[in-house]
Amino acid sequence: MPSEAPSLLNKLFSRAIELKASDIHLAVNNPPVYRINKVLKRDEGEVLTQKVLLAEFKIILTPEVYASFERHQDIDTSFALPHGERFRISLFWKSREPALAARYIPATIPTLDELEAPEAVLDFVKLPQGIVLVTGPTGAGKSTLLASMIEYINQNETKHIVTLEDPIEFVYADKQSFVSQRELGSDFMSFADGLKHLFRQDPDIILIGEMRDPETIATALTLAETGHLVFATLHTNGAAQTVERIINTFPGNQQTQIRLQLSLVLKGVISQLLIPSVDGTLTPVHEVMVMNHAVSTIVREGHTEQLQNVIFSSSDAHMVDLDQELQLLVEEKKVSSETAHEFARNPKNFK
């Protein structure tokens, strides 16, 4: 991965930062397109050609990785501008022409306070072991929240933190902790393989970029059982759906065992959305499930339809119901009732 961006990408990525864009899209016969507060906006300027894009790709990628891109037609990587800002980049082909999608990663990791993280997050980062899941759709800020949690541990605990990422996004400087960041494709070949070898690497904290398959999930649960604190992401909406997604990943004859295992090692689920606020920016809204006796029993016995009621009535345990948080944001005039209606679990409450 080159240390400096080529001139065109340097210019376009710097422009994205100037516009406070979260994403940038480049395609043949189009001007650059930026996503600003979830809205796509075309930038004025000359359109891009296939020759120019492929030339830039060859500068971004090593010869070996570029050859892999030509064989497989898509590849994920990351890139750093000279002043430290990074982008997660996906290179791919569409209609037989090259294209690029990039996600902005700030050089400075925001604090939990700056992210308005729920109270339960401070409980989760101090756990001795177990698994904590951060969930939500693409673009909901999952990676940023996880990075802030890892950085809190890095600053306050003496731990060995191992991350498995695709690709590496936020970069951690060792502080109180020792951080080993590993990237898919260059440092390990699959999440399942990377997790298998972790047992011999003396980790205390493990960050899994995404739990994608039954083998990865099963190994993550075993790591949590054996005295490690595991953080991971899933593309799910809400605590109940997260539990169901994990269970349904496995064949029917394994689901009872997985429910039991999950009821013992799952410590919490943070489900996050970024929604439009009245001032035109984006504001986070959360649902938080904290594992207690009631939740553990529900998970073990398979009555996940009851989880929402427990979350709704357990604010004293730092649980957060999505609709309750939306109602608070409406009362504080941070979010309109129309926006709350759009994202609520029970929209009729926000008519």
Same domain, 74 and 24: yes
Contact present, 340 and 329 (Cβ < 8 Å): yes
Same domain, 194 and 268: yes
Which of the listed residues 50, 72, 105 is the one where a domain comes to its end?
105
The strand pair at 266-276 and 282-290 is best described as antiparallel
Q: Judge residue 33's burial from the number of C-beta atoms within 10 Å of its C-beta, 0-12 exposed, 13-18 middle, 19 or more buried.
A: middle
Residues across the chain: 351
Distances (CA, A) of 257 to 51, 97, 215, 261, 262: 54, 47, 14, 6, 9
CATH at 15 = 3.30.450.90
- pLDDT per residue, tens digit, the chain (351 aa), is 444 445 788 899 999 999 999 999 999 999 999 999 989 999 987 899 999 999 999 988 888 889 889 888 899 888 888 888 899 999 999 999 999 999 999 889 999 999 999 999 999 999 999 999 999 998 899 999 999 999 999 999 999 999 999 889 999 999 999 999 999 888 998 888 999 899 999 999 999 988 989 999 999 999 999 999 999 999 999 999 999 999 999 999 999 999 999 999 999 999 999 999 999 999 999 999 999 999 999 999 999 999 999 999 999 999 999 999 999 999 999 999 999 999 999 998 887
Same domain, 65 and 128: no
- Domain of residue 63: give its range: 7-105
CA torsion, points 191, 195, 197, 202, in degrees to nearest 10?
140
- The tokens 């009729």 sit on which residue? 348
Distances (CA, A) of 215 to 16, 137, 176, 332: 38, 22, 32, 44
Alpha helices by DSSP H, listed for the chain, are 7-18, 50-60, 63-72, 120-124, 142-156, 191-196, 214-225, 239-248, 255-265, 293-301, 307-312, 322-331, 337-343
Question: Tokens standing for 271?
Answer: 């489900």
Maximal CA-CA distance, the chain: 61
CATH at 156 = 3.40.50.300
338 within domain boundaries: no
Integer Cα distance of 143 and 145 in angstroms: 6
| Three-class secondary structure of residue 333 per DSSP | coil
113 within domain boundaries: no
Same domain, 95 and 23: yes
Same domain, 96 and 151: no
Same domain, 193 and 272: yes
Number of domains in the chain: 2
Same domain, 95 and 157: no
Same domain, 127 and 97: no
Contact present, 328 and 273 (Cβ < 8 Å): no
Integer Cα distance of 18 and 13 in angstroms: 9
Peptide bond into 2 cis (omega under 30): no
Same domain, 205 and 154: yes
pLDDT of the residue at 2? 46
Contact present, 298 and 269 (Cβ < 8 Å): no
334 within domain boundaries: no
Contacts of 119 (CB under 8 A, 6+ apart): 318
pLDDT of the residue at 210? 86
Distances (CA, A) of 132 to 123, 135, 143, 344: 11, 10, 13, 24
Selection from 221, 223, 175, 174 nearest residue 202 by Cα: 223
